[in-house]
Every structure is written in structure tokens, then in C-alpha cells.
Structure 1
Amino acid sequence: MKISFAPPYIDQLVIDEVMDTLNSGWITTGPKVAILEHQMKQLTASDAAVCVNSWTSGAILMLKWFGIKEGDEVIIPAYTYCATALSVLHCGATPVMVDVDDDCCISTTAVLKAITPKTKAIIAVDIAGWPCNYKELKAIINTPEIKKLFIAETAKQKALNRILLIADAAHSIGATIDELPASKYSDVSIFSFHAVKNITTAEGGCICINLPPAFDANNEYRYLKLYTLNGQSKDAFTKSNGGGWKYDILFMGLKINMPDICAAIGIGQLKTYHAKLLPLRKRIASIYCEIFKEMDWFIEPALKRDNRESSYHLFALRIKGISEAQRDQIIDSIMSSEITVNVHFTPLPMLTLFKDLGYEIGKYPSAYALYANEISLPIYPQLTDGELIFIIKTVINSVNKVLQLDNFKELEEIEL
């Protein structure tokens, strides 16, 4: 039985949306992108939503929007994908890496210690779909002593008058805090629609903003849309529909717009996300937890607690007491049965680019410990019960083999 790690969910709704776009004669940014933005605004309860061609470009855009430049600092966790740090570097600023807590979220204690007069933003990362403690982060950046440290240099910075809180929500579409969309609790949430995400557009992302009243959401939306199209005053769809051929370049923008052909995939998937796709992911996570909790070596991931709930993007299996080398042996054993698994993530200081920049993994013990015993298991709506049982059996047998333990539960007795 061959099981993929994260194939895209493509049903007839998605196919119909894509074919509608192809038959319309318009495939680049146009009406489908507008529909997807409206869907995202509703799903996240945000003031505005702007679709882009990737999470990374969305993060670069928002850092540039806030005026972040060389000499500025942005606090990020050491335990994340490289794009979190690369977006900061692309703006000329310095990523200030801090360690994470046991739930993989950025350590609020470490954040507080890392803030300096150079700090312009914090990017908190929702690993595996689990939302960070944005309430506590917001409380920190609104503390009078911390606000006094903030040096506003641009119009946007003066309007906010404090550190910008960005949620790296690449994994967390559908995650909640106090039963509300988690995106309500940060200034900016940036989602990824990469092919392996809960909702995909093949490649793409979406910026959702929930800024204070000093900002007009409609004005910011229009400005950001211009920014995604090189700062051009008139987009191609407007020109093609009688808007006239003349245009202007108002400022030095980026070319990071999402095309309609990509948006169509996301539109189709979002139609059933809360009713079908997200509940199926939650069911699979619950089954994994229910069975693995019988194993002494199982460390249960953060999924639903403290008024927070995950989007169930990844199932991060953690195995108590193992070394990185043992983890790798377990992965090799699992994959020998044609089950594809993954690891999320290699901490940034372990990667060549960041080692060359002077970051040292020894300074981030929690990030390393989480990485060393983690295996990401398949979790997606198409998984059948038979495939789930096969994955679970294989994982348990592989762990017990490497740890030289005996099975103590017959999986055939478990009903899914």
C-alpha cells in the first residue's frame, strides 16, 4: 500500500471552478481572485484580504508596507520554515531568532527579552496549524515600557505607534482562539495556499489585516493591491473592460499578484472547508491520538486546549526520549513500507545560510529538542480508514523496533 504525504484535494467543485475560468477567456488576476479574497475575508473575519502569489511574497510586502529596512530588527522563532527569516532578509533587516515553548509556539518570555529600540515587528509562527498565544504577544507590545522603546520612522509606523504583530499563518487556516478565527488576534495574518496546505491554489497566499482604527481597511486594501502589481494605477482586468489603456506607476511595487486560474482551485475547496475538509482532518488527528496515547512513548501534540484549536494541518508525532538518529531510523523504517512522512521543521540555525550568518543551534535548545523527535504523519481528507490503520500499525511497529520494545496492543481490535 503506497501512501502519499499530502496530495491536493481535487473534487468536482474544484474542477468546475477551474474550467469556468478557462472557458471565461480570463486567467490572470480578475474576478476569481476577488471572489477568493471575499471568501478569505469572511472565513477569517478580517477587515480586508489580499491574495498574492506566495506566503513569502506576502510577508515581504507587509514588511515593506510597514517600512522595515536595513538596521531594523524583526523577532522570529528559530523553529520555522526558512521563508519566515528570508522575508526579513529580503527587506535588508535582521531576523532576531528566539526559542520556542513545548507547544512549538514562539516563547513570549524570549520575545520580551529580545525587544530593543530596533525592533519593528514580531512574526509568530503557527506550527502545524496550532495558533500562537497572540493575546500575550499583544499584551507585551502594548505595555507602556515596550511602546516607549518603539521608534516610529514611517507614516505606517507612526499610525500604529508600536511593534507590528504578524501571524505566520501558513499552516493555520481555520484555527481558532476563543472560538473566533485566530487571525482576529494579530495585526496581520499571512496564509499559504501552497500545494500541500489545507486550502491550495497550487501556489499562492493571502494577507488578512485586522489593524487598529487608525488605519482605513479599504484604503489599505487598495494600496496593497497596487503594490502587488508593480505600483501600477490600473490593473489589466480593468483596462480590458473599458477602463482605458492609460496607466501610471505610482511607486516601486512588486509583481506578486495571484492569477484567476490559481484562485479558482481555492474557491472550489473553500466551498466545503468548514463542512467537510476541516472536520475530516480533525477526525484523523483524533484517531491518531486515541490509538497512540496507549503507547508510553507518545507525546500528544497541541490540538485543542487553552481556548485554542488547531487547523489540523499537520499531525506532528513526537516520540519520548529518542535521539535525532533514532528518529531518522524510525522514518527510514516507515518509508520502507511506502508511507511518505516528513519532518517539520529543521530549525533555522541548522541550515547552512543561517549558520553562515552566525546563528547557533545551541542557543535554541527547545527548537532542537522538538525537531529531533518529530515525525509528520499523513493527514488529509482522502485518507481511508484502511490506510489509517496501515499507517498506525507501521508507525508503532517502526518505533518499537528502533526502541526494541514489544507491541502491547493489537491494532486489529481497534475500530475507527
Structure 2
Amino acid sequence: MGRINKISWAEPSIEQEEFTAINKVMNSRWLTQGPITQKLEKKISQIIGSKYAVITNNGTSSLICSLMAHEIGPGDEVIVPSFTFVATVNSIISVGAKPVLVDCDPKTFNTNVDFVRKKITKKTKAIMPVDVAGMPIDIDKFKELCKEKNLILIQDSAESIGAKYKKKNVGSFGHSTVFSFHMAKVVAGIEGGCIVTDDYEIAQKAKLIRSHGDANQYDHKVFGLNFRISDLHSAIILQQLQKMGKFLKHRHTISKIYKTELNNFEFQEIPQYVSRHPFMLFAILTPKKTRENLNQFLNKNGIETRICWPPVHKQSFHSQIFKGKFPNSDEIFSKVLNLPMGNGLTEENAMYVIEIIKKWKT
């Protein structure tokens, strides 16, 4: 089996429907946040099962907007995993609050309430757990802990739209949950983000914040910023959202092929409470000190991969701020290699990836 073109790490599926939707927006002459964005918000609430949805220009903006809507700021602490993309922690820093890092479970890659509980202080105002690779956190346990300690729960579900926890959609549990529509995600809008919640006041405040706090005709009710999305992006997301079921089924098929054919590798462990994993990423755990060799071998054979982001405490900037030991995060990072996984990845190309991995010698 041979190939000519390079296999992308996150091949999206953009079809004629997306181009047609973009043309309709262009012809309407309403290009910035407008009627298509409003339509998208209603559609997301309907699909997810939340009362409200607030669309922004990206996932990071949605995290910041959510923190601001919950009035989290200077003097507050927010507990967050170190094993996450830096946007999670940077959003907390941007509102003047203090991120408090915790380690993660070595099997699921997600943090858990046991790690978090140990870091709660009188200054803790919120917990911001992350659904790593799209796999949901143990939502019930986090909600119980937040109720017990009177804390705010903001779930970073940037990678987990379409995921199900105990047969319910992630985002349908009432608390603020943030999704991303970056091009690598299951629903790929090139860029885009969303806050879903059942809290009317939080939703209304978030809508003000995303547009400079403007309520009506330049009357700025609260402090806000420009987190507005264009109707062009919303049109793409709307089309992608209608295909989400097909995309999720496809990703499940690819993941099953990987797991069956690469059964000599370890994978992210999926707990019983996860009813549906969207496989935004598909990670294998490589044998110790062999990841770079395998990564280079795959790239040499026309296969694009990602080694995953270093934990926050290992980042050049953040390591100056955060001290402490996070052994599980370090261990996972040293082994994780993300294989190609996207809505546009064919089964033939997935089999080629497997063929090349089987040729690799440690």
C-alpha cells in the first residue's frame, strides 16, 4: 500500500453545503455577528439540551467570557489541571485570578475530585476541569464537590462536543460548559467557541461581555471585550453541526480500527460513565523514550502527527510562575502520540498509518 499525499493530523470535512452557506451570508451583506449566529445558538441549545448558548469567536474567548460572567477576578483562585492546553490557564490569568494547578489521572488523562479537593482553600472560587481528548470528566462528582464547597463549576469541553456522560450530552448538566469549533475539532468552524448553560443571568451577562458590554445602541451596561464571531463562521459551524452525528460515527469507526490493529499499544482509558467518546484526538502511549523515534518515522513516511502539548508547568512562560510536581502529567506527556484523526480521514489512510507503525522498530 503506497501514498502520494501527506496524511493530515486533523483532516476536516468541508463539502459543498459549507460553501453554499458562506455564499448566502456574503450575498446577505450581514457578515458580522447577526441572524445566522442567533440561529446557531438556538440549534446548539436544541442539540445539546441546554437552555442557553452564547457563541463567541473562539474557545479561549468563551472561557474568558464565562469567567467574567461569573465575576471571577483578582483575589480568586481557580483550580485547573496542568495537563491541558495553555488556553485554559491563560483565560484565568487574563481575568486577574490565580490558577492553581492539579495533576491528572494516569489512565484517563483527566483530573479528578481527589486531586482537586486537596487544593481547595478559602480563596478558591471555581473549578475548571478539562475533557482531555474529548473524554468527559466525572461530572456528577465535580458537581457534588462544587455544591459541598459552594464553588463555581466551569467545564472546559473544548474538545468534547458530541460526548455523552451517563447517556446525557456534555453541556446539558446546567453549569457553564465551553466548546470550541477550531478546525481540528469534531465540529470544525475554522474558528469559533460557545458557552452553554441553564443559568439565564450568566447567559445574558456573557452576551453583553462578548460585545463590549453593549446592551443597545452604545449603552455599555458592563465591562466587555470584542468576542464577536462573524456570521460566515457561524454559517460553517451550523452546517458542520448538522453532520455531527455522521462525524462521530466515522471517528468511532476509525478509533475501533486503530484499537484493533494496534493492540500492542496502550490507549486512554474510558470509564463506564462515558456513554460516547467523540475521539477528537486519538492517542497511543508509546514505550518509554521511543516516541520521538516513532514520530519521526511516521513523518518520514508522509504521516502528520502531534506529540501533544506539554503540561502547563513545563511551558517556558508558565514554568516561571507555577511550582510543584505533577508526575502523572509528566508521564503521560512523555508517552503520548496523537495519530491522524479527523472527519476527512479515510479508512484507507488509517490503515496506511497502521501499516507504517507496524513496520517501525523500537
In structure 1, the partner of 2:350 is 388
Q: Determine whether 1:175 maps to 2:163.
A: yes
- Name which of 279, 284, 288 aligns with 1:322: 288
- Name which of 311, 332, 337 aligns with 1:375: 337
In structure 1, the partner of 2:192 is 204
Contact 2:251 2:342 in 1 (8 A): yes
For residues 90 and 222 of structure 1, the distance between their equivalents in structure 2, rounded to whole angstroms, comes to 21
Calculate the TM-score normalised by the size of structure 1.
0.83
In structure 2, the partner of 1:228 is 210
Q: Determine whether 1:358 maps to 2:322.
A: yes
In structure 1, the partner of 2:124 is 119
For residues 273 and 22 of structure 1, the distance between their equivalents in structure 2, rounded to whole angstroms, comes to 24
For residues 223 and 166 of structure 2, the distance between their equivalents in structure 1, rounded to whole angstroms, comes to 40
Contact 2:18 2:235 in 1 (8 A): yes
* Structure 1 residue matching 2:31: 3-state secondary structure: coil
For residues 347 and 231 of structure 1, the distance between their equivalents in structure 2, rounded to whole angstroms, comes to 34
Q: Larger C-alpha radius of gyration, 1 or 2?
A: 1
1:30, CA displacement in angstroms?
Answer: 0.5
Task: Deviation per CA, 1:72-126: give whole Å up to 9, x if none.
Answer: 1000001000000000101111110000012011132110111111001111100
Contact 1:68 1:93 in 2 (8 A): yes
Contact 1:98 1:107 in 2 (8 A): no
In structure 2, the partner of 1:285 is 255
Contiguous gaps of at least 5 residues in structure 2:
none
1:194, CA displacement in angstroms?
Answer: 1.0
For residues 258 and 54 of structure 1, the distance between their equivalents in structure 2, rounded to whole angstroms, comes to 8
Residues 112, 186 of structure 1: CA spacing in aligned structure 2 closer, same or farther, 3 A cutoff? farther
Letter in 2 for 1:56: T
Q: Determine whether 1:250 maps to 2:232.
A: no
1:63, CA displacement in angstroms?
Answer: 1.0
Residues 317, 87 of structure 1: CA spacing in aligned structure 2 closer, same or farther, 3 A cutoff? same
1:349, CA displacement in angstroms?
Answer: 0.8
In structure 2, the partner of 1:187 is 175
Contact 2:69 2:202 in 1 (8 A): no
In structure 1, the partner of 2:278 is 311
For residues 223 and 171 of structure 2, the distance between their equivalents in structure 1, rounded to whole angstroms, comes to 28
Contiguous gaps of at least 5 residues in structure 1:
147-161, 212-216, 235-245, 403-416
1:221, CA displacement in angstroms?
Answer: 3.0
For residues 133 and 151 of structure 2, the distance between their equivalents in structure 1, rounded to whole angstroms, comes to 25
Contact 2:134 2:159 in 1 (8 A): yes
Residues 304, 277 of structure 1: CA spacing in aligned structure 2 closer, same or farther, 3 A cutoff? farther
Letter in 1 for 2:90: L
- Name which of 68, 83, 88 aligns with 2:87: 83
* Structure 2 residue matching 1:199: 3-state secondary structure: coil
1:310, CA displacement in angstroms?
Answer: 1.2
* Structure 1 residue matching 2:172: 3-state secondary structure: helix
Count of aligned positions: 357
Contact 1:138 1:186 in 2 (8 A): no
Letter in 2 for 1:123: M
In structure 2, the partner of 1:37 is 41
Moved more, 373-382 or 169-178: 373-382
1:185, CA displacement in angstroms?
Answer: 3.3
For residues 70 and 351 of structure 1, the distance between their equivalents in structure 2, rounded to whole angstroms, comes to 23
1:57, CA displacement in angstroms?
Answer: 1.2
Residues 287, 232 of structure 1: CA spacing in aligned structure 2 closer, same or farther, 3 A cutoff? same
Q: Determine whether 1:54 maps to 2:58.
A: yes
Residues 55, 139 of structure 1: CA spacing in aligned structure 2 closer, same or farther, 3 A cutoff? same
Letter in 1 for 2:326: Y
1:304, CA displacement in angstroms?
Answer: 6.4
Residues 141, 221 of structure 1: CA spacing in aligned structure 2 closer, same or farther, 3 A cutoff? closer
In structure 1, the partner of 2:359 is 397
